[in-house]
Structure 1
Amino acid sequence: MTPPRKPGRTAQETRERLLDAAAAEFGAKGYAGARTACIAARAGVNQQLISYHFGGKRGLLDELRRRWQETQATTVPPGASFADALRAHLDATLDRPDRARLAVWQALGDCPFTDAEADRDLEREATAEAVAEARRRQENGEIRAGIDPAFALLAAYAIALAPVTMPQFVRDILGGDPLSPETREVLRTQLVKLLTDD
């Protein structure tokens, strides 16, 4: 008797596999170092499907960036406290370290076309809004009065990225796995103590 045939992947499943594989490949090697053959191999699909679904490597990156911007907009629920906002951003960063690695690659100039003026304007607007939110939180007593709220925001970003960008230092300084729940909790509680009066 012939075993039942396994159903094939849907187009959407293939797209998601390719996006996950691209995030891992871009995070590991940067945009310039990533190869579509390696992305396809990670996804377990034919390389031609990258062009079919995304138009090529750049299309993959563009779709990842679009999705990440959507995700960032909903990372912190409305009305969340400063401590809860820190936790949400820390979790979002450490749940998907490939995203953070790709952001670092881009910041180092790996992908110059992502610095198009329109993209930079959107990033500047988002950053300005984040600084304004930090100022509002300080006015509401959530951020320590003696700290520049822009610096508080920068410190939070730097510490959230540290387990991804400097895992060896985090491991040596704090002990244990930089991406573990225990390390996350240490980072969150210490950030709250550093930046607030709680």
Structure 2
Amino acid sequence: MARRRAVVEDERGASAERTRERILQAAVEEFGAKGYSGARTAGIATRAGVNQQLISYHFGGKQGLLDELRRRWAEREAALVPPDASFAESFSTYLDATLDQPDWSRLVIWQALGDGEGMTATQRAGLRQAVEGMRRRQEGGELTGDLDPGFVLLLAYVLTFAPISLPEHVREILGVDPLSEEYRAQVRDQLMKVLRAE
């Protein structure tokens, strides 16, 4: 009897975890489509195929969903690029992560436009660290020192997010599908030509 009860509890736990994951995926889609301010828990519940109260039960509401998504992204980002990766490898990895998950990327764009609470202190600190990382790469001779390190970082962000924020412009200017491997290869090649130290 005890074994059967344990099996039932395991099944319930697995079912609850699947429900949580469906809700989180639906939240990414809803936030990506409408931004944090425009998204509604009812819309998230409909996308996930669950009762709206389950969002409050599992996450405490819309803000709890956003907090969990941010926590997961920070966790994923920390493991995304090895510390000894070159700039080209890092850029390529972030480019793929951004374009492979356009709903996540749209959520970042909504936030950058001032939707919701805006950029967190952790995100601001991360950007400052990234600029310093660019400066170290320049000082080490990996990238040209002719450009401001902040500009280099901004250029990398622009090229990474342009297919999400300006897809028609990318298509018309470069003549390729914005999410395609052709875009990724072209951008990686051209950016490194601009940034390569002589």
Shorter-chain TM-score range? 0.7 to 0.9
1:86 is the counterpart of 2:91: yes
User: Greater helix share, 1 or 2?
Assistant: 2
TM-score, normalised via structure 2 length: 0.88
State how far apart, in whole Å, the 2-side matches of 1:56 and 1:64 are: 13
State how far apart, in whole Å, the 2-side matches of 1:74 and 1:192 are: 24
1:78 positional shift: 2.0
CA deviations 1:119-171 (Å, max 9, x no partner) are 32x22221111111111111111111211122111100111010001111011
SS of residue matched to 2:80: coil
State how far apart, in whole Å, the 2-side matches of 1:16 and 1:140 are: 43
State how far apart, in whole Å, the 2-side matches of 1:95 and 1:64 are: 16
1:25 positional shift: 0.6
Partner of residue 22 from structure 2, selected from 10, 13, 17: 17
Give the partner amino acid of 2:32.
Answer: G
SS of residue matched to 1:46: coil
State how far apart, in whole Å, the 1-side matches of 2:44 and 2:177 are: 27
State how far apart, in whole Å, the 2-side matches of 1:148 and 1:184 are: 24
| Aligned equivalent of 1:179 | 179
Q: Aligned residues, how many? A: 187
State how far apart, in whole Å, the 2-side matches of 1:44 and 1:184 are: 35
TM-score, normalised via structure 1 length: 0.88
SS of residue matched to 1:27: helix
Give the partner amino acid of 1:178.
Answer: P
Partner of residue 35 from structure 2, selected from 30, 43, 51: 30
Give the partner amino acid of 2:35.
Answer: G
| Aligned equivalent of 1:133 | 133
| Aligned equivalent of 1:47 | 52
Q: Which runs of 5+ in 2 are unaligned?
A: 1-10
Identity %: 58
Q: Which runs of 5+ in 1 are unaligned?
A: 1-6
Give runs of ≥4 in structure 1 deviating > 2 Å. none
Give the partner amino acid of 2:67.
Answer: D
The answer on whether the counterparts of 1:97 and 1:164 sit within 8 Å (CA) in structure 2 is: yes
The answer on whether the counterparts of 1:143 and 1:149 sit within 8 Å (CA) in structure 2 is: no
Comparing 99-108 with 51-60, greater Cα deviation is found at: 99-108
| Alignment RMSD | 1.7
Residues 1-198 of structure 1 aligned to structure 2 (within 5 Å): 10-112=15-117, 114-115=118-119, 119-120=120-121, 122-197=122-197
SS of residue matched to 2:142: coil
State how far apart, in whole Å, the 1-side matches of 2:124 and 2:108 are: 15
